Structure 1
Amino acid sequence: MRHGKYPFVIGFLFAPVALYVTFVIWPYAQAFQISMTNWRGLSAPQWVGFDNYRRLLDDGAFWKAVQHHGVLLLALPLITIAIALFFAFLLNVGGKSSGGQRQGVWGAKFYRVVFFFPQVLAVAIIAVLFQMVYRPNESGLINGVLMKIGLEPILFLVKPNLALWSILAVLVWQAVGFYVVLFSAGMASIPGEIYEAAEMDGASRVTLFFRVTLPLLWDTLQVAWVYLGIAAFDAFAIVAVLSVDGGGPDGATTVLAMEIYRNAFVYSKYGYASAMGVALFFLTLTFAALTLRLTKRESVEY
């Protein structure tokens, strides 16, 4: 049996590995190859080496998109995790004790469904919904209320200094429900005896959160931060539907995925767009590696 173990394992792994190489690794390799060319889609590609990458260094639109990713990388995980942790704590251990077990607030099961609801909607549908929310006239959900009480409408998606934050709010609204469920699962695995012991020592709810819940959820928080960082590097569908002229006004909401789309399918610069895609790949990989390294800590066993 021992001598036949490796052929048996290889036999089961061959098909999924072959599919992964064909549909994931090979397209990545093609992107690297195309990024070294001046290919416009119809004519034969011309080899230009690293010229496309040198052009990126002087591309204002590219660096503006990178700057926007920097804002999203900081704000999206911080805001989403803070809100999701707060709600998850209330839904799982924020209520009274019953039979020696911590309970969530009243109606916790209903709230879980409500918070998770955005996850069942397609990203494009969410963007269209918030188009109606952000409309700059009385037909908009927010501005309609403001105008009825005599206030001026807010141009959420038109003002350059407000547009990116308006899109960030949509990304947070979309993501919070998933992380409420993720953190709830982590809190459910924490033994109730730990909370009981802390309460017997006089710990308040704030102390329970910061001294018990947060340290024991650290691995889950680490994963959540990486996932949200990857989401911040994407954000293409929300930006494409909500923003003015695809990343506007005046490039105030553009992201790398938007610039890749524009260069590839509007300007037919497939080689240059692939170079941007490769840059996005390494930025995402670097972020994930740094996050896992900088947030690494000894695991707490319980």
Structure 2
Amino acid sequence: MTMRQGKYPFIIGFLAAPVILYAVFVINPYIQAFQIAMTKWNGLSKPKWVGFDNFKALADDDAFKAALWHHLWILIALPLATLGLALFFSFLLNVGGKGESGKTAGVKGSSIYKVIFFLPQVLAVAIVGVLFQSVYRPNESGMLNGLLAKVGIGEVQWLNDPKIALYSIIGVVVWQSVGFYVVLFSAGMSSIPKDIFEAAALDGANRFTLFFRITVPLLWDTLQVGWVYLGIAAFDMFAIVQVLSVDRGGPDNSTTVVALETYRNAFTYAKYGYASAMGVVLFFMTITFAALTLRVTRRERIEY
């Protein structure tokens, strides 16, 4: 009985410091952001309480509404493209080939391919943005337009055309992110007994069946986590848009996102209360998306 009574002070002693640090550096800033969102404040003068006026003003802000619309497209395109490519490459690298005695294995050189796929992940976002500024140059000096010119296709305004600028930036994020999920899914596939794939192959299952009827269901928990991660990333996009887009969210707000509008209102227009209101909206959008995704995509766990 004495040992049980003594364990609680021991546990509390270990948890006290991290809980206090989390409250001070995470919970407290959130609370302050909610408070500032209810004020009109330029960062220097005394804040003026305005209640929900900042949130009401968001409904008439064209740039903010454009940013929300862009997040919707990013939420659809980014996870679908990234997870689809990552699953395909992971399947090839782990069960897409034949090993010794006809056993299931990855394609030849799969370990080297995993390193190559992961390399973009170690690059800073600013470096990736500067790199793709050269790739997307609107004349033949750009890598993509140079290649198109060689096959007789005219120049494409990748970042200057409002119709395709956002998708050009999404393509960059997909390029950088795929490698991480290739490694993540490869780790998940390596935990699946190879006997399952071999037994299915002996029963006549082709690659298509192995992928959609065996691999995807057994990786569903990992796929669900990946979808949540990419959804949260889709609500950010600040750094890559800031570096890569024309006129920071242009042209004509065709690539702007909520985080960029928050930054612009706070540090360009000194409207900290209004910017905090945007941040609060972004916070609730993110946690709502994560909760709904985990709920909707929940399935009964498959044991093997």
Matched position secondary structure for 1:268: coil
Same amino acid, percent of matched pairs: 69
Q: Please tell me the residue identity of whatever aligns with 1:102.
A: T
Give the aligned partner of residue 256 of structure 1. Answer: 258
Displacement of 1:119 after TM fit?
A: 0.8
Instruction: Note the alpha carbon deviations across 1:198-249, whole angstroms, 9 max, x for none.
Output: 1121111111111111100000010000000001000101100111111000
Q: Do the aligned partners of 1:100 and 1:196 also contact (CA within 8 Å) in 2?
A: no
Displacement of 1:144 after TM fit?
A: 2.1
Displacement of 1:146 after TM fit?
A: 2.6
RMSD: 1.1
Matched position secondary structure for 2:24: helix
Give the aligned partner of residue 279 of structure 1. Answer: 281
Q: Please point out which of 82, 85, 101 is paired with 1:83.
A: 85
Q: Do the aligned partners of 1:84 and 1:180 also contact (CA within 8 Å) in 2?
A: yes
Give the aligned partner of residue 110 of structure 1. Answer: 112
1:195 matches 2:197: yes
Q: Do the aligned partners of 1:183 and 1:220 also contact (CA within 8 Å) in 2?
A: yes
Matched position secondary structure for 1:147: helix
Displacement of 1:150 after TM fit?
A: 4.2
**Inter-partner Cα distance in structure 1 for 2:270 and 2:124:** 28
Instruction: Note the alpha carbon deviations across 1:238-293, whole angstroms, 9 max, x for none.
Output: 10011111100000000000100110000000000000000000000110011000
Q: Please tell me the residue identity of whatever aligns with 1:61.
A: A
Q: How does the TM-score come out when normalised to structure 1?
A: 0.98
Give the aligned partner of residue 180 of structure 1. Answer: 182
Q: How does the TM-score come out when normalised to structure 2?
A: 0.97
Q: How does 1:1-302 map to 2 (within 5 A)?
A: 1-98=3-100, 101-302=103-304
Displacement of 1:194 after TM fit?
A: 1.0
**Inter-partner Cα distance in structure 2 for 1:225 and 1:295:** 10
The size of the alignment, in residue pairs, is: 302
Q: Please tell me the residue identity of whatever aligns with 2:126.
A: A
Instruction: Note the alpha carbon deviations across 1:135-193, whole angstroms, 9 max, x for none.
Output: 01222111123334543211000000010010010010011000000000000000112
**Inter-partner Cα distance in structure 2 for 1:150 and 1:211:** 42
**Inter-partner Cα distance in structure 2 for 1:97 and 1:231:** 37
